[in-house]
Structure 1
Amino acid sequence: MISQILRSVFFKSAAGKAGRYAKSSGKLFELVKETVSKLQKVGFKENFSEFQTNVQLLIRMIRAYASGEYRNLPWKSLLSIVAVLIYFVSPIDLIPDFLPFIGITDDVALVVWLIKTFADDVKKFGEWEKQEKTINIG
């Protein structure tokens, strides 16, 4: 399924927009806002809690990058994360979101792929985030 998504006109469109978004903090913050809104609208059940946790992690990564707090994110990783989030917020994609339950499966597959593909960058961000919380608490 992932190869179909990555080759789809919908993902290619999202990937094409990713560079413009990545160069603009304003666009990144707007994307974060849209992603949070979509997460709330979909109202995931407990069997999607890992997906929701992963998307929230991606949101924090983009927010930290856009604010300038965290810039240790390779350009390719940033573009991929942004493209996946653009795809996620789009109601029309490979499997349209208006289809009950099944409409979100392509989004879930794409986020799982992203987290696995860029596991090192995700891990580094998680470590940075923990360190920041420790510094801010201490």
Structure 2
Amino acid sequence: MKKISPEQATEEMNKKAEKLKEKDLEKVLHKQEKIEDKIRSNDSIKAYIHKAKSMFALLKDYWTGEYKEVPWKTIAAVGGALLYVWMPLDLIPDFIPIAGFLDDAGVIAACLTLVNDDLVTYEKWKVLQNKTEEEES
């Protein structure tokens, strides 16, 4: 079974991120449910569902202008990684049993390595926003 190396995963994620445009973010956000379903349904990547939800929340808050304290490279990496997961024909096509999803897991893991600090900062901001909204209610 062919396995994707961390270097290959990072390279694939970077390729997607470099090409990502704002219209692609809209596409990712519209495909959120399908991407999350794909993540949930595959043993090799379902451990990333919580982080994927945070990644989508970050993209949504960036898209709506609620959260702009993040570099474009982080948005591009997150959007590129999620687009990669959604694409059925990627480095290892998804129709190949098991191996077809290992590359998706590798790309998500590579993305999280690159954007972890920004994602944690965003998650903390989101918790504070939710507390503030609850206090105002």
TM-score range, shorter chain: 0.7 to 0.9
- Which of 93, 98, 102 aligns to 1:101? It is 98
The one-letter code sitting in structure 2 at the alignment partner of 1:108 is A
- 1:49-128, aligned counterparts within 5 Å? 49-128=46-125
Structure 1 counterpart of 2:29, from 27, 32, 46? 32
Structure 1 residues 52 and 75 mapped into 2: Cα distance closer, same or farther (>3 Å)? same
Deviation at 1:37, TM superposition (A): 1.0
C-alpha contact 1:44 1:52 (8 A) present in aligned 2? no
Name whichever of 84-93 and 37-46 sits farther off.
37-46
Separation (CA, whole Å) in 2 of partners of 1:94 and 1:100:
14
- Three-state SS of the structure 1 residue aligned to 2:78 is helix
Give 1:106's aligned amino acid: D
SS at match of 2:95: coil
Q: Does 1:17 align with 2:19?
A: yes
CA-based RMSD of the aligned residues comes to: 2.3
The separation in 2 between residues aligned to 1:51 and 1:69, in whole angstroms, is 24
Equivalent pairs counted in the alignment come to 131
* Deviation of the 1:137 alpha carbon: 1.1
- The CA deviation at 1:34 is 1.3
Residue 33 of structure 1 and its aligned partner are, at CA, apart by 2.2
What is the identity percentage for the equivalent residue pairs of Structure 1 and Structure 2? 22
Task: Name stretches of at least 5 consecutive residues in structure 1 with no aligned partner.
Answer: none
Relative to the length of structure 1, the TM-score reads: 0.81
Aligned-partner Cα distance in 1 for 2:42–2:79: 25
- Cα contact 1:32–1:59 (8 A) shared by 2: yes
For residue 118 of structure 1, report the CA deviation from its aligned partner: 1.6
* Deviation (angstroms), 1:71: 0.5
Structure 2: distance between partners of 1:56 and 1:122 = 11
- The CA distance in 2 between the partners of 1:51 and 1:45, in whole Å, is 10
Give yes or no for the alignment of 1:4 onto 2:8.
yes
